[in-house]
Structure 1
Amino acid sequence: MDTTVIQLLLPLGVLQLILIIIALIDLRKIDETNGPKWMWVLIIIFFNFIGPVLYFILGRRM
């Protein structure tokens, strides 16, 4: 793999990992969500960048 590609993908991978960790920690701390928590865990983990974003927009109950 070219070093330029690695330099572009590495920050995106780190950002994705940070988003997943923050979303999972937040999901664990809050009492109620829009939908079951197990569903949000699956969405956060398996839908890469979109999963954590969807959780923060749609999953959290205000």
Structure 2
Amino acid sequence: MNEVMDVIRLFLPLIVVQLLLMSVALFDLYRRVSVRGQKWVWVIIIIVINLLGPIAYFIFGREKSSEY
């Protein structure tokens, strides 16, 4: 049981970063009027491709305009 807790403590920061990035990316996607591609595709990418999905959205998915 102690080994399981050690593994959880090891991965906890990564899990927190993943959930934070996913939440921020989904919120940003919801607020934007237009993105590159279709929004439903970005939702799937953000949710399914852990950690890299939200990063890909922020790099490739957002339009250059600052308007929401």
Interval of TM-score (by shorter of Structure 1 and Structure 2)? over 0.9
Q: Percent identity?
A: 50
Which sections of structure 2, spanning at least 5 residues, go unmatched? none
Which amino acid counterpart does residue 37 of structure 1 have in structure 2?
K
| CA deviation vs aligned residue, 1:14-61 (integer Å, no higher than 9, x gap) | 110010000000000011101000000000000000100000000001
- Number of paired residues? 62
1:5 to 7, 15, 20: 7
SS in 1 for 2:50: coil
Which sections of structure 1, spanning at least 5 residues, go unmatched? none
- TM-score (norm: length of structure 1): 0.93
1:4 is displaced (CA, Å) by: 2.7
Measured on the aligned residues, the alpha-carbon RMSD in Å equals 1.0
Deviant stretches of 4+, over 3 Å: none
Kindly report which structure 2 residues correspond to 1:1-62, keeping only aligned pairs within 5 A, or say none: 2=3, 3-62=5-64
Q: Work out which of the two has the higher radius of gyration on C-alpha atoms and give 1 or 2.
A: 2
- TM-score (norm: length of structure 2): 0.85
- Distance in 2 between residues matched to 1:59 and 1:39, nearest whole Å: 10
- Distance in 2 between residues matched to 1:60 and 1:18, nearest whole Å: 18
